[in-house]
Amino acid sequence: MKIHQSVATCCLLFATVPCSFAQKPPTLPGPPPSGPTPLQQLPGAYGEASGTVVDNSGNPVAFARIFISEALPAAAARTVAPPVLTGPQVSTSMAGPTGRFMAFLPPGSYVACAETNTPGFLDPCHSGTSAPTFTLAKGQILEGVDLVMAKGAILSIQVNDPNGLLKAPAGVVAPDCHIKVITAKGYRYEAPITASSATGRSHTITVPFGAAITVLVISPNLIVTDSAGKPTSSAGASTAIPAAVSPGVLSYTVSGIKP
């Protein structure tokens, strides 16, 4: 009888052990941390700046490239061709499909610029009289570094080459014949090659609506004529950009080799 009682007791003990584990409540994680605010701190020496790239109607500019540079001191000289609004570049990033971007930076004062391959948008550092700036402290999470890329006029320039005198371009700029756009303030910007063939090249650049610009064709060895058949001037030709629409195509022709 005692033997049966002992066996029963052991069976009872082993039977109740799994029950005790099954009844133990699981350990649940605590509530998730709250979202970041401009006053939160990151570990380490860097801070975080984030924002959105939009056009001047508030629509996001997808996949824009963000260039962040050191801000120049207030007394620093700004050259006029092209304008120098920034110091050394410290960060590059790309906005997402909704225009959002983020950059991790050491403490300092910065200038944010934006470019896109989509024609019709102006880099705020090139088209404005001042560049968007912000200051970041050690470990700070700074939101709202928003960049506005104003809509501009798309200027198309065609260089015809009926005799095949142009060299094959190696990139967006070809030294045998390149085109610069000069603003009323004297700022100079290259009009890159956007298409080429055996009979010519197309250049495209975005300029502000309502601007007065000068188009300068530079070719050290070739004779280039305008749409009236006259050789291009070393001073360039003045062009008025309409206030609300893109202008027509400017046309030039490579007519020969300089003696």
Handedness of CA 110, 133, 184, 120 (dihedral sign): positive
Rounded to a whole number, what is the largest CA-CA distance in the chain? 127
- Please state, in angstroms and rounded to a whole number, the distance separating the CA atoms of residues 188 and 83: 8
Fold of the CATH domain 153-257: Immunoglobulin-like (2.60.40)
DSSP character string of 28-86: PP-PPPPPP-TT-B-SSS-EEEEEEEEETTS-B-TT-EEEEEEEPPTTS---BTTB--E
In this predicted structure, what is the pLDDT of residue 100?
A: 96
- With tokens 């055996």, the residue in question is 198
8-state DSSP, 16 = H
- Please state, in angstroms and rounded to a whole number, the distance separating the CA atoms of residues 259 and 257: 6
98 Cβ contact partners less than 8 Å away, ≥ 6 residues apart = 52, 60, 62
In this predicted structure, what is the pLDDT of residue 169?
A: 85
Question: Integer distance in angstroms from the first to the last C-alpha of the chain?
Answer: 127
Same fold, 47-149 and 153-257: yes
- Amino acid identity at 1: M
Q: Does pTM surpass 0.85?
A: no
Domain assignments of the chain as residue spans, ordered by start: 47-149, 153-257
In this predicted structure, what is the pLDDT of residue 63?
A: 95
CB 239, CB 249: distance < 8 Å: no
The two three-digit tokens of residue 196, written as one number: 């080429």
In this predicted structure, what is the pLDDT of residue 38?
A: 43
In this predicted structure, what is the pLDDT of residue 165?
A: 95
Q: How many CB atoms lie within 10 A of CB 135?
A: 13
* Per-residue pLDDT in tens (0 to 9) along the chain, 259 residues: 444 444 444 443 434 333 333 343 444 444 443 444 444 555 568 899 999 999 989 999 999 999 999 887 765 555 544 455 667 888 899 999 999 999 999 999 999 999 998 899 998 887 765 667 899 999 999 999 999 999 999 999 999 999 999 998 888 889 899 999 998 777 788 999 999 999 999 999 999 999 999 999 999 999 999 999 999 999 999 999 999 899 989 999 999 999 8
In this predicted structure, what is the pLDDT of residue 52?
A: 95
Pairing status of strand 86-94 against strand 153-160: unpaired
CB 122, CB 149: distance < 8 Å: yes
Q: Which CATH number fits domain 47-149: 2.170.190.11, 1.10.340.30, 1.10.10.410, 2.60.40.1120?
A: 2.60.40.1120
